[in-house]
């Protein structure tokens, strides 16, 4: 009877092989199913509960008018994402762009050809053509944007 | 070792004189040694040494002026330099100090050499101030003179954050005298101005938001010509910054009524030193509203106040609602940048309506409110559309994910059945 029993080393190897094959199968199966579920549920979850990012990430915009549309000593409001910008052609013909949100309470500013300034009608705030607050309650300068003219297009970008 | 010790002052004076004598022969072209600083900076008497120690950082010293510019005398000489015959003034009295500063600071040609843009009317303004008039007309030397606000020997320009006249430090400088009850008692003045100012929205703007253009004491009272703003021109003072509201008020019926009653324009409702953020709650007849102090429900003014408050509230509520909806849609990834951009017009209208409240005319408030409500209605509708679209997409997502999951589950069950069938055969 003793001779019929397998050698202890052979028996152990078979057991280890069996265990490995089972574990590997289970691991592969569970990982694939888990991965599949994650791949479906994670984006769906992020879609249903979006992150708290409000700020527009757009860094540049092509304004809806051409350089010829802007006469010297005039300004136009344009949309920069969900915010307003103002593009000014100075009396000397230079194009400059700024955020159009007044730094006081966020009113939309406008260009005043009679004084050659950017002006906020809400509380009579004045900004010079470098965006600096020079009169009235605005506490800070307007954010300055970079302006690039590419043929008939005017591209306004944040930062310079 | 307890031998005779030469007094330190004498030793320094001798050294200074010797140095001057030698340098006078060897370097005739160099400026003479300033013996005032050499001696005074090492004196044991703190009253005499402190000015000399502080003076090198003073703007006058930085620009090359020495002690003799104010105190006279001959800084190159030893003790002889402090001879009144050589123009030595010693410590000028408080009355004389004003003329002394004015000797240079009222001289446009002289000041132009140092700072062409610096004003030269400080003394002229000072003699019109309450301080100056009391000093000149009554001989009251307890009032502020130049050196109270610009500490002698440690004067730095207002742009220096450590300067006593830097905007952040002005309230403290004025408060040094004006917050002292015993000092103000002879003048019958209140001493809570600084304490109140430090609770105001103006100080909050300056100290927290670091807006150094926010007003401090001298912006309303003047600096060299400091005086309390008269009742009739308080509006002009506030109107330097708040010009739109001041214009509305000046044309309103309240302007003449307040003048008749002898009460100041802006300060009656907004206070003077303790001015708080002017929220919508100030308007109307409810709790915290200032109109109710004079008006009541049923009288014309009370009804106007109530109507204006209702209008402003309606636009604010509509704006907040539309804004919240659009932001919610934007956060969820919906494209709402155009309506958000257009909603900026409603913010303009709301701020304009709040300013026009100072005309105390319902029609002036109604016009921007109506304009704003039209914008908010469009924005609200666009926000609701975006959120409706979002709900539709989410419902679609839930249904499709459910179907996919059900399909996966079905496949797994099917695979298991096949495996079982194989194992039984």
Summarize pLDDT for B98-116 with one digit per residue, the tens: 999 999 999 999 999 999 9
- Would you state the pLDDT for residue B348? 95
> In whole angstroms, what is the distance from residue B237 CA to residue B243 CA?
10
Instruction: Say which of B205, B341, B355 has its CB closest to residue A83.
Output: B341
- Would you state the pLDDT for residue A25? 66
Does the distance separating the beta carbons of B348 and A82 come in below 8 Å?
A: no
For the cut 50, the answer to whether the pLDDT of residue B251 exceeds it is yes
For the cut 70, the answer to whether the pLDDT of residue B40 exceeds it is yes
**What percent of chain B is predicted at pLDDT more than 70?**
92
B273: DSSP letter? S
Does the distance separating the beta carbons of B242 and A137 come in below 8 Å?
A: yes
Give the pair of three-digit tokens for residue B22: 């030698």
Mutate to test the interface with B, among A137, A140, A141 (most CBs of B within 10 A): A137
Query: Per-residue confidence at B23, pLDDT binned at 50, 70, 90?
Result: very low
For the cut 90, the answer to whether the pLDDT of residue B131 exceeds it is yes
- Would you state the pLDDT for residue B306? 96
Contacts of B241 in chain A (CB under 8 A): 136-137
- Would you state the pLDDT for residue B226? 86
* More confident call, B373 vs A160: B373
- Would you state the pLDDT for residue B15? 40
Query: Per-residue confidence at B14, pLDDT binned at 50, 70, 90?
Result: very low
CA distances from B378 to B334, B345, B402 (A): 17, 12, 36
> In whole angstroms, what is the distance from residue B23 CA to residue B14 CA?
14
What is the mean predicted confidence (pLDDT) over B49-72?
92
Tens of pLDDT, residues B180-220? 999 999 999 999 999 999 999 999 999 998 888 899 999 99
A7: DSSP letter? P
Instruction: Say which of B337, B351, B408 has its CB closest to residue A36.
Output: B408
For the cut 80, the answer to whether the pLDDT of residue B285 exceeds it is yes
User: Please, which residues 28-87 of chain A have a Cβ atom closer than 8 Å to chain B?
Assistant: 33, 36-37, 40-41, 44, 47-48, 50-54, 56, 79, 81-84
Query: Per-residue confidence at B57, pLDDT binned at 50, 70, 90?
Result: very high
**What percent of chain A is predicted at pLDDT more than 90?**
56
C-alpha distance from B352 to closest chain A C-alpha (Å) = 5
Sheet architecture: strand order including A144-150: A60-62, A153-158, A144-150, A95-99, A83-89, A74-80
> In whole numbers, what is the pLDDT of chain A averaged over residues?
84
Strands A83-89 and A95-99: antiparallel
CA nearest A57 in B: which residue? B337
CB B58 within 8 A of CB B153: yes
Query: Per-residue confidence at B35, pLDDT binned at 50, 70, 90?
Result: confident
Tell the residue number behind the tokens 């002889």, with chain if given.
Answer: B80
- Would you state the pLDDT for residue B26? 36
Query: Per-residue confidence at B10, pLDDT binned at 50, 70, 90?
Result: very low
pTM beyond cutoff 0.80? no
Query: Per-residue confidence at B1, pLDDT binned at 50, 70, 90?
Result: very low
- State the CB neighbour count (10 A cutoff) for residue B183: 14
What is the mean predicted confidence (pLDDT) over B382-411?
90
For the cut 90, the answer to whether the pLDDT of residue A28 exceeds it is no
C-alpha distance from A75 to closest chain B C-alpha (Å) = 17
For the cut 50, the answer to whether the pLDDT of residue B411 exceeds it is yes
* More confident call, B425 vs A78: A78
In DSSP terms, which residues pair with B41 in a beta bridge?
none
For the cut 90, the answer to whether the pLDDT of residue B156 exceeds it is yes
* More confident call, B83 vs B425: B83
- Would you state the pLDDT for residue A101? 96
> In whole angstroms, what is the distance from residue B411 CA to residue A36 CA?
13
Mutate to test the interface with B, among A34, A36, A123, A133 (most CBs of B within 10 A): A123
Closest CA to B365 of B306, B319, B292: B306
Residue-wise burial string across A18-39, b where 16 or more C-beta atoms lie within 10 A, e elsewhere? eeeeeeeeeeeeeeeeeeeeee
Does the distance separating the beta carbons of A108 and B244 come in below 8 Å?
A: no
- Would you state the pLDDT for residue A18? 67
B230: DSSP letter? P
The answer for residues whose C-beta is within 8 angstroms of residue B88's C-beta and 6 or more apart is B71, B72, B73, B74, B81, B82
Q: How many CB pairs under 8 A join A and B?
A: 83
For the cut 80, the answer to whether the pLDDT of residue B234 exceeds it is no
Supply the angle between the helices B300-331 and B362-424 in degrees, to the nearest 10: 30
For the cut 80, the answer to whether the pLDDT of residue A108 exceeds it is yes
Query: Using beta carbons and an 8 Å cutoff, which residues of B are at the interface with A?
Result: 205, 209, 211, 213-214, 241-245, 327, 330-333, 336-338, 340-341, 344-345, 347-348, 351-352, 355, 394, 397-398, 401, 404-405, 408, 412
Tens of pLDDT, residues B209-228? 888 889 999 999 988 988 88
For the cut 60, the answer to whether the pLDDT of residue B43 exceeds it is yes
Query: Per-residue confidence at B29, pLDDT binned at 50, 70, 90?
Result: very low
Contacts of B205 in chain A (CB under 8 A): 139
In DSSP terms, which residues pair with A62 in a beta bridge?
A155
Instruction: Say which of B337, B345, B404 has its CB closest to residue A81.
Output: B337
> In whole numbers, what is the pLDDT of chain B averaged over residues?
88
CB B83 within 8 A of CB B73: yes
């Amino acid at each position: 009877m003793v001779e019929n029993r397998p050698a202890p080393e052979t028996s152990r190897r078979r057991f280890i092989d069996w265990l490995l094959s089972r574990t590997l199968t289970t691991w592969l199966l569970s990982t694939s199913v888990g991965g599949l579920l994650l791949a479906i549920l994670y984006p769906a979850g992020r879609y249903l509960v979006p992150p708290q990012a409000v700020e527009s990430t757009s860094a540049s915009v092509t304004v809806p008018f051409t350089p010829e549309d802007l006469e010297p000593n005039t300004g136009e409001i344009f949309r920069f994402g969900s915010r307003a910008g103002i593009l000014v052609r100075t009396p000397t013909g230079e194009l400059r762009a700024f955020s159009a949100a007044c730094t006081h309470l966020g009113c939309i500013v406008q260009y005043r050809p009679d004084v050659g300034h950017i002006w906020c009608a809400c509380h009579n705030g004045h900004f010079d053509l470098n965006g600096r607050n020079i009169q009235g309650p605005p506490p800070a300068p307007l954010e300055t944007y970079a302006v690039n003219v590419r043929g008939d297009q005017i591209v306004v970008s944040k930062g310079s | 070792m307890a031998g005779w010790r030469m007094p330190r002052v004498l030793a320094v004076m001798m050294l200074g004189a010797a140095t001057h004598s030698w340098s006078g022969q060897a370097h005739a072209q160099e400026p003479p040694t300033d013996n005032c600083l050499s001696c005074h900076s090492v004196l044991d008497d703190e009253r005499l040494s402190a000015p000399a120690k502080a003076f090198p950082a003073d703007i006058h010293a930085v620009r090359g002026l020495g002690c003799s510019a104010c105190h006279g005398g001959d800084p190159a000489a030893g003790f002889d330099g402090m001879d009144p015959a050589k123009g030595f003034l010693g410590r000028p009295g408080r009355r004389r100090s004003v003329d002394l500063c004015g000797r240079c600071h009222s001289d446009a040609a002289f000041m132009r050499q140092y700072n062409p843009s610096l004003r030269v009317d400080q003394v002229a303004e000072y003699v019109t101030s309450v301080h100056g008039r009391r000093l000149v007309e009554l001989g009251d030397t307890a009032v502020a003179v130049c050196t109270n606000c610009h500490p002698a020997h440690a004067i730095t320009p207002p742009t220096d954050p450590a300067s006593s006249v830097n905007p952040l430090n002005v309230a403290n400088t004025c408060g040094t005298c004006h917050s002292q009850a015993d000092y103000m008692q002879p003048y019958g003045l209140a001493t809570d101005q600084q304490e109140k100012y430090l609770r105001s929205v103006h100080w909050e703007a300056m100290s927290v938001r670091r807006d150094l253009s926010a007003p401090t004491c001298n912006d309303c009272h003047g600096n060299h010509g400091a005086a309390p703003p008269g009742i009739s021109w308080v509006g002009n003072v506030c109107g330097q910054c708040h010009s739109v509201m001041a214009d509305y008020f000046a044309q309103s019926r309240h302007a003449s009524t307040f003048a008749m009653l002898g009460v100041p324009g802006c300060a009656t409702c907004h206070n003077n030193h303790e001015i708080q953020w002017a929220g919508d709650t100030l308007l109307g007849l409810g709790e915290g509203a200032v109109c109710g102090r004079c008006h009541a429900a049923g009288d014309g003014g009370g009804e106007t106040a109530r109507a204006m408050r209702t209008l402003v509230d309606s636009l604010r509520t509509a704006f907040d609602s539309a804004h919240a909806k659009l932001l919610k849609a934007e956060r969820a990834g919906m494209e709402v940048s155009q309506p958000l951009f257009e909603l900026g017009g409603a913010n303009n209208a709301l701020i304009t309506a709040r300013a026009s409240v100072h005309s105390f005319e319902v029609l002036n408030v109604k016009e921007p409110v109506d304009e704003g409500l039209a914008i908010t209605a469009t924005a609200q509708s666009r926000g609701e559309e975006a959120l409706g679209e979002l709900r539709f997409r989410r419902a679609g997502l839930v249904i499709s994910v459910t179907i996919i999951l059900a399909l996966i589950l079905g496949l797994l069950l099917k695979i298991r059945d096949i495996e079982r069938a194989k194992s039984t055969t």
